[in-house]
Amino acid sequence: MPRRSLLVLALATAACSKDPGPSSSPARAGAAQVRIGYQKNGVLVIARQRAILEHQLAPQGIAVRWVEFAAGPPMLEAMNAGSVDLGQTGDVPPVFAQAARANVVYVAGEPSTNGQGILVRPGAGIRTLGDLRGKRVGFTKGSSAHNLVVLALDKAGLSYGDITPVYLSPPDGGAAFARGSIDAWVVWDPYFAIGQQHGGEILSDAAALGQTYSFYLANREFATRNPRLVGDVIAGLGEAARWAESHRDQVAQALAEVTGVELAVQTVAAHRSSFAIGALTDAIITAQQALADRFYRIGLIPRPIVVRDSVWLPPQS
């Protein structure tokens, strides 16, 4: 990878690190606003750019505040503290959150596709998953990338102890990958596309490792006290998702405008993403439980959990 490309990769991923640090205030009944945590991808960015929730909730006198995070774990920490009401993450952050007895619940889900995977440096001698043995693998602890690492090791017949995990935020991971201090980088879009654009080679994408999911989560008290509002937000995001599925070039433009990540990168991300949002089916809950059980079995979470205990059920009308 040329030195100039490595520098561009480091700078581009660093530009994705904005986290304005939401102020804390308790969730309450009759909320005058909903504070939504988002990352630089997906349906939430589309909803923000098109002001779908603002238009939907304004007649109820409810404002929308958008709070950006670099990854799911800090978002759920803020949600647990009551400074974010609702947001979207990959599959692993809610497992770590529930194991830590965080005050969050699942409110909807969606299948993940190939907008995440394992990148390797040219010349690192990694051609198969088995070649990860003894390598330094960078990823965000407690993120969806963490699950991809575990799935990849299982598929290769390796254990977690066969690699050197290097826990890094996505921007820090991009910088480490650029300067060669890690051999492989496991991450999601747009960071995945940035790394790919600047010379990283895809060892495996997510689909080759197994079905994974993303989730919409809410502060438990907020969901309990504002069930109609949570339902309205999910319905609005469903509208954004339906539009996004059939307008991918416009999605890329929206992602670029909201996030500041260049259009070429977001075009790649938009065309390999899924934007479907749905209820938490038994199949999704079962898959998430299997993930939680696997993480407990190999010692990544301190206690077993029952995923269904943290699934929010909207009130019956």
- 125, 131 Cβ separation under 8 angstroms: yes
Over residues 105-119, the mean pLDDT reads: 87
Q: In what order do the strands lie in the sheet with 86-89?
A: 63-68, 33-38, 86-89, 213-219, 104-111
- The pLDDT of residue 16 is above 70: no
pLDDT of residue 10: 42
Over residues 270-282, the mean pLDDT reads: 86
pLDDT, tens only, 190-222? 889 889 888 899 999 888 888 888 899 999 999
Say if 3-12+114-208 and 19-112+212-310 have the same CATH topology.
yes
At 236, which amino acid appears? Answer: G
Q: What is the CATH number of domain 3-12+114-208?
A: 3.40.190.10
Instruction: Tell me, yes or no, if the pTM score tops 0.75.
Output: yes
Strand partners, 138: 166, 185
Domain ranges in the chain are: 3-12+114-208, 19-112+212-310
Residue with the larger pLDDT of the pair 85 and 245: 85
Pairing of strands 104-111, 136-139: unpaired
Cα–Cα distance, 182 to 27 (Å, whole number): 41
Q: How many CB atoms lie within 10 A of CB 111?
A: 13
pLDDT, tens only, 25-56? 434 446 799 999 998 778 898 899 889 999 99
Q: Which fold has domain 19-112+212-310?
A: D-Maltodextrin-Binding Protein; domain 2 (3.40.190)
Cα–Cα distance, 189 to 213 (Å, whole number): 14
Length of the chain: 317
pLDDT, tens only, 280-310? 999 999 999 999 999 999 899 999 999 999 9
